[in-house]
Chains A and B, each alone.
Chain A
Amino acid sequence: MGASRAVVVRHVTRIEGHGNIVVDLEGDRIKRCDLEIVESPRFFEVLLQGRPYDEAPRISCRICGICSVGHATASVHAVEAALGITPGPKLRAVRRLNMAGEWLQSHILHVCFLVAPDAFGVPSIVPMVGSHPDVVKRALRLKRLANDICCTVSGRHVMPISYHAGWMGHWPERVELRALQERLIAAEEDLDALVELFAGLSWPVVERRVEHLASLEDGGAYPMMGGPLHSTSGAVTAPEAYRDALHEYLVDHSAAKHVRGTDGTIRVGALARYALAHQRLHPRAKDAAARLKLRADSANPFDYVAAQVVESVQAHQEALDLVSALLVDPAPEAPARPGRPHGGRGVGMVEVPRGTLVHDYTIGADGRIKSANCIIPTSLNLVSIEGDMRAFVPSLVGRPSPEIAHALEMLVRAYDPCVSCSVH
């Protein structure tokens, strides 16, 4: 029996929300290896109860600042499914444009602001303002562009405003779309440089077999706006039957519920989408993946970073295509009417930057929400994160504790966890 030691990181930095890494070692033996989720419960599922359905996207987007567009989208999809509303093509296009903006914003924030400092051996992006000014300026320009896409569609990026079941409270105008189009074209250079930067970086390897899940839409588009839940195991689950595939349960050390799949450890997010739908990527994004040497069967969580860079290229290209298509005829579309105004149950399942997000509502005949359940991508990844920590630790045990702590922080960070979101 070797000496006991504990590796503890209180409040992992450069992630959204509060989580602790707690590892207890006895010699080489791992006694405990947890990602404690100590974020505050806010009880959003209860907050939604009794509220008019029109408020649902605006209340539930407050679950998360970083993926608030994703929550508004899942929420409005759930309401529309419950009321039997089929959104028109232009409404879908505008919402997809907003999601593309959020993907770009969230991925750039993660890879450039939160992860890149690890590659350069600095504690944050702040020292990089002096040491790598071009990298920082590029990241800031891309993030500003992404934010402005969302501002154009929904008034602001954090807490989008214009989401209603069947209609938009605001339609982007020709002059706004034209301005975005110009900036999107100009940004191609920045994205190229982003790919170049990350193609030159290397990360640790933690290979472990897991099941990747993503919600794939019909029609061959890259997964974003939701559809049946596909698994690398071959299983396909309809959104409203998500409970057959995703089993939530409580553990003592996490205020966020853990979730297991039917076979075992599951993963969602950029790497899972890439595994299941890389052939659906735009040629420019495929080219980025080749330059980043991202394998379709990669199970290394550090490859989330490369997959997010690929998806940044994809999101940018989709935004450009959608803006160009909307410019052909930017006139507002007539609202879609409810086919089932007396309500019922509806599930919204979409692909947000960190993976599959589920909002499940039951709406009463009085137009109020009777019950709600939300499953957050970071919750779906928690079991896998801890499994990867366990798989990673044996290769680290010879090192001093602060180095082990740093390596595990990098692993957790690679997943881009959204902790307050996961607790909600």
Chain B
Amino acid sequence: MRPRVAFFSFGSCEGCQLQVLSVEDVLPELLSVVEVVNFREAMDDRGDDYDIAFVEGSLVKPDDVAELQQIRARAKILVAIGACACLGGVNAMRNRRPVTELAREVYDGRQDGVFAALPDASPLSSVVQVNYEIRGCPIDRIEFLEAVRSLIAGTVPYVPPFAVCVECTLRGTPCLLESGIPCLGSVARAGCNAVCPAYGAPCEACRGFHEVPNFEALGEAFFRHGMTRTLAAEKLQLFNNYREVREAWEQAVPSSSAT
């Protein structure tokens, strides 16, 4: 029997689900090996009986917690898709300021009803057990297909353990850091084929960190190339600012140092 698959989203842009819809060339084949029972962005069906739940987005409002727990209780396998779900992502940038302040700036101070927000935006793993993660902002559609293939085969989806720098080297992209551009490739987890540096933007570590990131060395490298260590911390806040993710780097690259 085909595994039953469901898609859900919390605080996000729904771009990862859009990436799922971007598997145009193999969509008919994909639909022949899995049964999609719930995918609000694209379908009316609202099945509650599913084997695999793919969940996009961060937990950002009070209702999200119970809703995610319900999905967890129903799914045999829960897969977090994208930076928001895996790391907190850009949503967690707001955690540097109290939510009352944010509400004052955007909603005239209202925090009731539809304006309610949790104190921190957080990844799915802060509330439930996550079985697998597909990283990236957005996820890569080929990587998504690979993950589905692995899950059907009963194996563990592959997550590259090495740095984005490896991929830049392999595709021959000149080093941005050496030209004084604040690139996080040396600590960032690969899997994206280093697409951002190849298209002229520094790596911002949207896939989190690889197995052995050296944040002291990152700060030193920024300093050596004419930037401040504080700038390294500032760049790390973009996708990796949720407190448990931030713990990995904030001692090594203090955001308040004057250097």
A interface with B by C-beta (< 8 Å): 11, 13-18, 36-38, 40-43, 45-47, 55, 58-59, 62-66, 68, 109, 113-114, 117, 123-126, 129, 136, 140-141, 143-144, 147, 154-159, 161-162, 164, 168-170, 250, 252-255, 420-421
Contacts and interface: CB of A to CB of B under 8 A. Distances in A.
Which A-B residue pairs are the 6 nearest by beta carbons? A169-B200, A65-B15, A123-B44, A155-B199, A124-B43, A40-B11
Contact of B43 (A109, A126, A164): A126
6 contacts: A13-B44, A66-B14, A123-B43, A124-B45, A158-B138, A159-B137
Given A11-B40, A47-B90, A126-B43, A63 B201 contact: no
Contacts of B40: 11, 13-14, 18
B48 to A, nearest CB: 13
Contacts of B200: 161-162, 164, 168-170
Interface stretch (B99-107, B124-132, B146-154): B99-107
Given A38-B114, A47-B93, A113 B42 contact: yes
A58 B204 CA distance: 10
Nearest to B118: A40
- DSSP class of A's interface residues: helix, strand, loop or mixed? mixed
Interface string B210-227: 000000000000000000
B13 A68 contact: yes
Given A65-B138, A155-B198, A144 B117 contact: no
Contacts of A136: 28
Given A40-B117, A253-B114, 9 more contacts: A14-B42, A41-B115, A42-B91, A65-B17, A109-B21, A123-B45, A147-B22, A147-B24, A157-B22
Contacts of B27: 129, 140
B114 A37 contact: yes
Contact of A14 (B13, B17, B43): B43
A64 B16 CA distance: 10
Nearest to A145: B24
B164 interface: no
Contacts of B117: 40-41, 43
A68 B138 CA distance: 11
A124 B196 contact: no
Contact of A254 (B39, B114, B196, B198): B114
Given A40-B11, A42-B91, A46-B102, A252 B41 contact: no
Interface of B: 9-19, 21-22, 24-25, 27-28, 31, 36, 39-46, 57, 60-61, 64, 89-91, 93-94, 97, 102, 105-108, 110, 113-115, 117, 121, 137-138, 195-196, 198-201, 204, 238
Contact of A169 (B15, B60, B201): B201
Given A41-B106, A161-B200, A65 B45 contact: no
Contact of B106 (A17, A43, A126, A156): A43
Contact of B15 (A14, A66, A250): A66
Given A41-B61, A43-B106, A158 B199 contact: no
Contact of B21 (A40, A113, A117): A113
Given A65-B18, A140-B27, A143-B24, A159 B198 contact: no
A13 B43 contact: yes
B110 A141 contact: no
B199 A161 contact: yes
A65 B13 contact: yes
A268 to B, nearest CB: 20
A65 B16 CA distance: 7
Given A45-B105, A129-B31, A420 B22 contact: no
A117 B110 CA distance: 39
Contacts of A169: 199-201
A124 B15 contact: no
Contacts of B24: 140-141, 143-144, 147
A161 B196 contact: yes
Contacts of A42: 11, 60, 90-91, 94, 121
B43 A161 contact: no
Contacts of A46: 94, 97, 102, 105-106
B188 to A, nearest CB: 15
B120 to A, nearest CB: 12
B14 A58 contact: no
B245 to A, nearest CB: 16
A109 to B, nearest CB: 7
A15 B17 CA distance: 12
